Structure 1
Amino acid sequence: MNSSTLNAAKKALTITFSAGSILAVSLLSFNAAATSPAHPTDLNSSGHNQNIITSQAFSSSNYQVQDATKMFPAPEIGMVQHILTLPKLDDESNYMVEIQIGQTQMVDCNGGSLSGDLQQHSVQGWGYNYYQVDSITQGPTTMMACFKQAKKEAFVPISTELKIRYDSRLNKVFYLPEGSELRYRVWAVESQFSTSKLMSE
């Protein structure tokens, strides 16, 4: 093989490898986007890198009546009222809000678990819903020997998961025991509906 033929072969190999690399990177990027929660900049045309939901928390000692949520009960002693405010989006049917309730604890290799009964209530005379967990206790866990593995700080959620439709018309209100945490994030639809069809005989 002469030098010109060899150089042409090297050039072709380089082009083929580069195209394959670009394809691999594109596929990885697509898969990551398809399985991740919506990024705040995807939901807000302003482009600010911040969570679009704002939150407030009030205990019985520092409770302040908010005009938008004045119909909801004030938090009782030992409870905290969490208020999530959702800004209006163009097509809210394409979004959902995921809620996690739990505590930050020091855990070993068994991970830990928490138990809590998440209930939905309605404000009498208004029909507005809110969510409440009266108590959170330690749940069952595995009994693996962790030997000398150091404990680490981690968020431990209760077993109940909650996903609610994105609806900016009314704030989302939760009542949780003091010492617990409420976490939230927004999910966005990234595909269209497909139809299941009867197979032809």
Structure 2
Amino acid sequence: MTFIAAISCATAACAATDVRSNATKLSDVAPYPAAQKGQVRNVIWLPEKADEDLFKVELVPGKVMQTDCNTRSLMATLTAEDLSGWGYTYYELTDVKGPIATMMACPEGTEKEAFVAAQGDNYTVRYNSKLPIVVYTPADIELRYRIWSGSEKLQSAQQQ
């Protein structure tokens, strides 16, 4: 797979630049539940592509925090949920723990603010421009994403 682009769109200010935010509201698509107390509902509208089966969307939840030369990450669980009666999928990010960091002695001056991503299983979802990707996260978590593409040409495995 090849990395195409990284886009961050977790705030209301970013929604104004979204390709479909003016044309479609989430409530026009389906009755997705409102975010619970302490949660934020993130919505990703994807542009239409010719062969969407060649693309995937990697969800990258995390937060900006003070870092240094150590490697840092968060741990979290992303669960796919069914929108009852509609057959649509939405996602919930729960059990956010961390940060987890290596314990190297860092030279002075390596401190900086940086985005620290959560690690976990199933953070890659199907590319589908016909439906939004809806992800509920804790309020202190920002959701970023990247779009990946695969080759149209399939290669044969070698039998041994």
Picking from 42, 46, 61, the partner of 1:101 is 61
Shift of 1:130: 0.9
**Residues of 2 paired with 1:54 and 1:84: CA distance?**
10
Shift of 1:39: 5.4
Q: Tell whether the 8 Å contact from 1:55 to 1:83 is kept in structure 2 after alignment.
A: no
Picking from 169, 178, 186, the partner of 2:130 is 169
TM-score, length basis structure 2: 0.78
Runs of at least 5 residues in structure 2 that lack an aligned partner in the other structure = 7-16
Q: Tell whether the 8 Å contact from 2:40 to 2:137 is kept in structure 1 after alignment.
A: yes
Counterpart of 2:3 in structure 1 is 37
CA RMSD of aligned residues (A): 2.6
Describe how 1:75-154 pairs up with structure 2 within 5 A.
75-154=35-114
Q: Tell whether the 8 Å contact from 1:135 to 1:176 is kept in structure 2 after alignment.
A: no
SS in 1 for 2:80: strand
Q: Which has the higher strand share?
A: 2
| Compared CA separation, residues 78 and 54, structure 1 to 2 (3 A) | farther
Q: Tell whether the 8 Å contact from 2:5 to 2:146 is kept in structure 1 after alignment.
A: no
SS in 2 for 1:76: coil
Which amino acid in the other structure matches residue 129 of structure 1?
T
Q: Tell whether the 8 Å contact from 2:56 to 2:126 is kept in structure 1 after alignment.
A: yes
1:156 and 2:116 correspond: yes
Superposed CA deviations along residues 12-43 of structure 1, whole A, max 9, x for unmatched, are xxxxxxxxxxxxxxxxxxxxxxx752259xxx
Describe how 1:171-186 pairs up with structure 2 within 5 A.
171-186=132-147
Q: Tell whether the 8 Å contact from 2:54 to 2:152 is kept in structure 1 after alignment.
A: no
Question: Kindly, what percent of the aligned residue pairs are identical?
Answer: 32
Aligned residues: 146
Structure with bigger gyration radius: 1
Shift of 1:134: 2.9
| Compared CA separation, residues 71 and 127, structure 1 to 2 (3 A) | same
Counterpart of 1:189 in structure 2 is 150
Runs of 4+ in 1 over 3 A off after TM superposition: 52-56
Runs of at least 5 residues in structure 1 that lack an aligned partner in the other structure = 1-34, 41-51, 57-63
**Structure having greater relative contact order (Cα 8 Å, sep ≥ 6):** 2
TM-score, length basis structure 1: 0.64
| Compared CA separation, residues 190 and 196, structure 1 to 2 (3 A) | closer
| Compared CA separation, residues 191 and 169, structure 1 to 2 (3 A) | closer
